[in-house]
Every structure is written in structure tokens, then in C-alpha cells.
Structure 1
């Protein structure tokens, strides 16, 4: 049913190409930095998905040209991610286009209904996160923010400095909203 010489060559080719691709990815990530593997924004997530697909393509390439094309595409994606990470740190308009903005879900012990809707979190989700953070009384919470990466930040020690709120959306508003 199977040509054993073709089957053994396919197994060898798949193993060698996958190992070579993995070595190349590690080298590229070492050059570009851990940003490629860190907490992800939506853009980072898409790059990661595409990278996985290209890794599979490279590992199953049947010709040198197909392998080279997959590696070139993977390198280009990771370089683009690196360039955009640099650009986001330098240019606010680019950051506003690419990144999600943190969103206030609770302020001064009170749930922000618009923030709950905007974050797609329920009151039970918020209560669970407060318990996980060891907070026994919601009134102790100065600020509860859903961060751009999906992490939760909870501040309990009084007023929050305005500089920490510069990029935070309030009341589920648009990017034009300014923090209170």
C-alpha cells in the first residue's frame, strides 16, 4: 500500500525539517527578543497563530523552495512584530491602532456597568478575581482594570495617580475618552 522508501524518506524529511525549523525559530526569537513569546495583544496573538502555521508548513515542505518560502514568511512575520513593537513604543497613533486599551471595570468599590459590558465580564467574574487577589471587601478597591493583555490589575491603596490612567478607557467609552 505504501512505498517504504517514500515513507521512510517522508519521515526523515519531516523530522529533519521540523528540527531545522525549530532551531531557526529559536535563533530568530533570540535575535528579536522575548516579545514574540510574551503576554500577547491581539496583534501578537495573530502573529503567534500564523507562526505556528508556518512552522507546520516548513516541517512538511516537500521541496527546498517550499521550505525556504515558509522560513522567509516566518522571519518576515517575526521581524514585522519586532518593528511594530518598536513603533508602538515610539508612536502613539500606531499604538492606538494596534493595541487594545485597558478598561476600568470597577472604581472606588463600585462596579462600572459600562465597563462590565465593554469587558464582557460579569459581576461574578469580578467577584472571583477579587477573591483570588485576597480582597475581602470590594470597598477597598480603588481601581479594577482589565488590561490590554487580558490581565487584571487591582489597586487597593487609595487614589491612583493620573499618569497610570493615561491610556485607560473609562465607562466602556471610545479611545477619545479621557480618564476621570
Structure 2
């Protein structure tokens, strides 16, 4: 692809194609914006994984056609993400279709066992998250929420506004 020697070509191809592909991803990210690799939705997670796979494929291309195809697939993925984000902002129906609902796992110091069962979150995992959030006593916990991204948010303190819990689901 670059030189006649197999080993030297392999090294050059790996270095140059990786640099070109990375530059392309940076350019696409600059055009698409900061949200490109956020973890706000399931779609964003899929975008990140797919982009990594396409970047690896581009870096390992053995000919220009394969490299260009991977680059075009990256651009298409960014275009789909941009379109999906616009649709989510403009349509509540599309938002509901694309997005899971955050689920309350614990409220006012009480673990909601049905919610744990429904979400398949182990009690021990919940307690580990409480420790990570420096919770010293269950009575300090206002709410624990399994977010749409799979992250667990722990809200503790003296009070929790209903506005913060907006859009969450209770399973009892």
C-alpha cells in the first residue's frame, strides 16, 4: 500500500492509517459538537462502541477502498447521531422511543426491592454505590436512581426536590 517491503509497509500502514483515521474522528467530532461521545443515552453508548470498531477497522485497512469505506461509515454514524439528537429534542414521542426511563431504586432511606428485581440490580451493587457516594447511613439517602445510561445516581442530604426526580419511574 505504501512501500514494497512487507514489514515496513505493515508498520507504515498501521501508523499512518491510524493517524489519518484519528484525525478524521477529531474533525467529525469538532463538526458534530461536544455531545458526540457523551453518555447521555443508550444511542450515545452504541455510537462510542461503533466508532471504536470503525476506527480499528480503518487502522487495519489493507487497501484504500476499505479505509475510505470505514471513514464514510464514521461520517454516516455521526450524521445519524446528529439526526437522532435533533429528533429527540423536537418530538416527545421519538424521545420516549429512543430513551429508557430512569428508575428509582431507593427513596428516603428505603430500598425498593421490586425496583431492584425489575432492573436486575443486586442489592450488594446498590450498597457498593452508596459507599462510593460516601453514604454513612441509609437515612441520609433521599433517592438512588438507575439512570438511562446504566449509571447509578445517589442523592443524599437533608432534602430532595421533586424537580430533581422529574421523569423517573417508581416500581413498587
TM bucket (normalised to shorter chain) is 0.7 to 0.9
| Map 1:32-111 → 2, pairs under 5 A | 32-111=32-111
**C-alpha distance 58-137 of structure 1, shift in aligned 2 (>3 A):** same
Q: 1:165 to 1:64 in 2, by over 3 A?
A: same
Report if the CA contact (8 A) 1:54-1:74 is conserved.
Answer: yes
The answer to whether the Cα contact below 8 Å between 2:103 and 2:147 also exists between their aligned partners in 1 is yes
1:116 alignment partner in structure 2 = 116
State the Cα distance separating 1:7 from its structure 2 match.
2.8
Query: In the alignment, is residue 139 of structure 1 matched against residue 139 of structure 2?
Result: yes
Name the CA shift for 1:164/1:92 in 2 (closer, same or farther; >3 Å). Answer: farther
Gap regions ≥5 residues in structure 2: none
1:84-103 Cα offsets, whole Å, 9 max, x none, are: 12222222222212222210
- Tell me the equivalent position of 1:176: none
**How many residue pairs get matched?**
168
SS of the residue aligned with 2:58? helix
Cα deviation 1:54-107 (Å, max 9, x = unaligned) = 112212223222211110001110121122122222222222122222100011
Uncovered stretches (5+) of structure 1, i.e. residues with no partner: 173-180
Give the TM-score taking structure 1 as reference length: 0.82
1:149-175 deviations in Å (ceiling 9; x for gaps): 2222233333532x4333211107xxx
Distance 1:139 1:29 in 2: 43
Q: What is aligned with 2:152?
A: 152
Q: Secondary structure at the match of 1:165?
A: coil
The TM-score with structure 2 as length reference comes to 0.85
Mapped partners of 1:52, 1:78: distance in 2: 13
Contact 1:142 1:160 in 2 (8 A): no
Q: Cα 1:7–1:134, aligned 2, differ >3 Å: closer, same or farther?
A: closer
The DSSP-based 3-state class of the residue aligned with 1:100 is: coil
- For the residue of structure 1 that corresponds to 2:100, the secondary structure is coil
Matched, 1:28 2:14: no
